[in-house]
Amino acid sequence: MQTSLHINAIAQTSGEHVHDYQQLMIGLSGRMDCELSTASAPLMRGSVGFLPQGARHRYAGRDADCRVLVLDYHLDDPFISALCQASGASAECLGLRAEANLSRPSAALIGLLDWNAAQGRFDRLQVPAVRNQLIASLLTEIVVGDSLPMRETLQRSRISLEALHAWVDAHLAEPIGVIDLAAAFCLSESHSFVAVKTLAGCSPMQFVTRRRMRLAIELLRGSSLRLEEIALRVGYAELSSFSKTFRRHVGVAPGSYRKETGATGVQIASE
């Protein structure tokens, strides 16, 4: 398939999808609740959702005017390859191989959306030149930062594995995306992605999910909180999403794990 950019009028519909291509969603208006394998959060104006190929996700529009700008792409598409070459960065550093991820609204992205709307570009997405220019500008705003070498960036920033643990653990009840980690440590989003990969050996969203599951294990072992409350404390608005993620990482459902607390062989991999 060719890379495509289109607007989906979600309104108050709901459903469950899985695609054989990568997808990036940008909130244009209204609110759409989105449940991914890694998190559950609303997609609103200026917020972004990454969906890798094969990632199952649920959605539910909450407003009559809910609209989402959707970019569908394959990494081997010539346009995406040209974009990577022009930016001098790999698809991974650009976030084009990102895990399922939801980010908070960005003022800069909202400004870019407003400007393009004022220019009437969203009404001309069928024009290749307009569509390609819009894709490039949106991806640049979302994922492309400055070009300092990562080693120098790590030395200048406040980020370390200990600081990363502390910040993420303090915000586990909230939606956490690469944009949030970048802002917390004064990094661009692309450098934030590579920094976490360098320090923790995994992607930012894998790191966050592991920390969520660690806290969930602690709460299941050491508290009498209801499963719904534990899900909220570790960043999942829906118990079903929390349960699926917990089972995938730990091997059993949260309720079963609580009953088996202290049993050998039920553990999560160390950082």
Token representation of residue 141: 């705003």
Give yes or no: residues 214 and 132 share one domain.
Answer: no
What does the pLDDT read at residue 147? Answer: 33
Residue 118 and residue 93 share a domain: yes
Integer Cα distance of 106 and 220 in angstroms: 35
Among 97, 113, 143, where does a domain finish? 143
Residue after which a domain boundary falls, among 143, 169, 190:
143
Q: What is the pLDDT of residue 49?
A: 87
Residue 60 has pLDDT above 80, yes or no: yes
Distance CA 15, CA 211 (A): 29
CATH number of the domain residue 235 falls in: 1.10.10.60
Q: Which residues contact 105 (CB under 8 A, 6 or more apart)?
A: 27, 44, 45, 46, 47
Amino acid in the structure at residue 183 = A
pLDDT digits (tens, 9 = 90+) for 13-30: 999 989 888 898 999 999
Residue 247 CA: distances (Å) to CA of 58, 102, 154: 18, 21, 34
Distance CA(43)–CA(67), nearest Å, equals 10
SS3 of residue 168 by DSSP? helix
Tokens 């990036």 locate to 24
Residues 174 and 195 in one domain: yes
Q: What type of residue is 19?
A: H
Residues spanned by the domain of 128: 4-143
| Beta strand residue intervals within 86-206, DSSP E | 101-102
Same domain, 175 and 101: no
Average pLDDT, the chain: 82
- When pLDDT is averaged across residues 249-258 and rounded to a whole number, the result is 93
Q: What percent of the chain has pLDDT over 70?
A: 83
Number of structural domains found in the chain = 2
If phi > 0 it is left, if psi is from -120 to 50 it is alpha, else beta; for residue 55 that is: beta
Q: Tell me, yes or no, whether 258 and 154 share the same domain.
A: yes
Residues 18 and 135 in one domain: yes
Q: What is the pLDDT of residues 187-205, one digit of tens each?
A: 777 677 778 887 888 888 8
Tell me which of 164-173, 221-230, 259-268 is least confident.
259-268
* Alpha carbon distance 258, 133 (integer Å): 52
- The pLDDT, as a whole number, for residue 233 is 95
